[in-house]
Structure 1
Amino acid sequence: MAPLKIIGGGYGRTGTDSLRIALDTLGYKTFHMKRFWEDPTINPDDFYQAQLNPKDTDWDTLYKDHDAAIDWPTVNFYQELLERYPEAKVILTVRSADSWYESIKNTIHKNALLRGDSWRDPAHERHLYYRMVYYACMDGFVCDAEKFQDEKLVKKMYLDHIDQVKLHVPKDQLLVMELGEGWENLCKFLNKDVPSTPYPKTNSTSDFKQYFKSKNEQLGFV
């Protein structure tokens, strides 16, 4: 289905899952981190290798069944994707650094601590996924107990990323979308009619915990 028409520029925990549902509602087929749990045919190692060698990646193959891609790991190569798909539009989802850090701490980071060092163990059944996630989430900072304690630095990395997206992406191709926004600006940006249904509101901290509680139980984590 590639080429991509939509590229996500925002880190995880900035409303990307709600945006995923919104884009699907508007007719796109959206790639998101959750796809690794929903489609066993997607190889997380392909995305890990893309992070190591973005210049040598076949993006059409990587996103072959999608025309929109948001959240991690996609956000790590938004520049390469925009170079490959110069007509694509970029959506930068944002929220305050304080609320973002708190959300990350209680979701992705906490879940990563349950996994321990399983991302280092090639014998672990989810090794390839966990290794991809470790490096996808700010080069290990989100999933590392010691690194994540440096709250000031992690927040700075988040804010610096936002600044870089705004600097790199042409203004007429960029939508900065605040957490909690509805359909209006998004649909205007994409030249789509506003749906009659409310804008999605999903993957809150409690939703995240419930979703991954079942996944962790399936894999033997408590």
Structure 2
Amino acid sequence: MSARKPSVIFCDFDGTITLSDNIVAIMKHFDPPGWQGIVDQVLSKKVSVRKGVGDMFALLPSSLREEIVSYSIHNAVIRDGFSDFIDYCKLNDIKLLVTSGGIDFFVYPLLAPFDIKAENIYCNSSSFDGETIEILWPHPCDEHCHNECGMCKTTIIRSYDSEQYKRILIGDSVTDFAGAQLVETIFARSHLIGLCDELGLPFTPFETFFDIIDRLEQMNYND
């Protein structure tokens, strides 16, 4: 009998680990002129995620740093079951990577209470040194991706060969769509459900991380 391939999970952050999209929440709260049109362009794939996110934060002055960081951390809600899900992954030797299109100033503080190694968290960075907020991109697209993702989830997924790993994606939006086309198992909610339906990609819907744990248990028993 051949050895089982280890599983690796690529888990989105905004709207997945958290109940709502933190970038959109920031924009709604501080309401800089023009942000809604940029969001619409990103969701309709008229502009890249990298351009859209960069343009949105460029609408906000760096002088609001403390208010923006405080709002981000204190108003985000973690989805039910996330802590149990982390424990489940550890217990079953599943590698959990947080692959986030979010920004460091809220991703790291919100994940700090959980036992996730820093090297397993991928997100965008930020600079408040200029007049307006600048988003930095430490995880760009590789030569196989031309989507200008900003934080390129497909680049990370490709670093885990399908011949060696069972690859699982958990996500909710357009930023997860390209990655969903590469993995073997998809857990989807919100916009990602419609995008998967368009291409006929099989997926499991979820509302809480308890739903995901239950399905992973079923998959394990069926192996």
Q: TM-score, normalised by structure 1?
A: 0.29
Q: TM-score, normalised by structure 2?
A: 0.29
Greater share of helix = 1
Greater share of strand = 2
Larger RCO (alpha carbons 8 Å, 6+ apart): 1
